[in-house]
Amino acid sequence: MYNWCKLCVCLLCFSLSIIGCKSEAKKEIKTKAVSFTKEGELSIRKAESDSVLVALDIEIAETDYETQTGLMYRESMQNGQGMLFIFPDVTHHSFYMKNTQFALDIIYIDENLEIESFQKNAQPLDETGLPSQGPIKYVLEVNAGLSDQWGLEVGDTVEYSRN
């Protein structure tokens, strides 16, 4: 009987400790805001005239982690900035806006550094897949509306350099 009572007391204490843990208030974890880090420069040229349409400071995403997170968890990006994704393969790629807090234009670029297709005004936090039209090697993300403002078209060319 003594062992049975001892077991009951132990179970009661264990149960109360679990209940006590669950009733603690959830703590909000604050993370440091992710800021833009200039890693290179990129310019886009008009296909017909070879004139420069725009020059941007870029952050480069090329590791698995960088390409999977991209611009997630950021509150904004300046209009003179962009993120260039560089993939090891040339194939169809698809993006989504999960955990991305501001609208983007997604510019798909082929292995010859020519604009292949666009996904304009991709909406924040939308997990819908946004695929390229054809095989690509690069993607440039800029603030929504800029590709129209700059007059970008399929066939325009891109060149970039690293810092």
* Domain extent at residue 144: 40-162
The CATH number assigned to the domain holding 133 equals 2.60.120.1140
Instruction: Convert the pLDDT of each residue in 54-70 to its tens digit.
Output: 999 999 999 999 999 99
Residue 132 is assigned to a structural domain of this protein = yes
pTM of model > 0.75: yes
Residue 6 is assigned to a structural domain of this protein = no
Instruction: Convert the pLDDT of each residue in 100-142 to its tens digit.
Output: 999 999 999 999 999 999 999 999 999 999 999 999 999 999 9
Residue 121 is assigned to a structural domain of this protein = yes
The rounded distance, in Å, linking the Cα atoms of 133 and 123 is: 19
Instruction: Convert the pLDDT of each residue in 28-61 to its tens digit.
Output: 555 567 889 999 999 999 999 999 999 999 999 9
Residue 105, token pair as written in the block = 């234009």
Residue 148 is assigned to a structural domain of this protein = yes
Residue 138 is assigned to a structural domain of this protein = yes
Between these two residues, 72 and 20, which has the higher pLDDT value? 72
Residue 142 is assigned to a structural domain of this protein = yes
Q: What's the confidence (pLDDT) of residue 33? A: 72
For residue 65, which amino acid is it? Y
Residue 130 is assigned to a structural domain of this protein = yes
- Domains in the chain, number: 1
CA distances from 5 to 8, 12, 17, 143 (A): 5, 10, 18, 67
Residue 16 is assigned to a structural domain of this protein = no
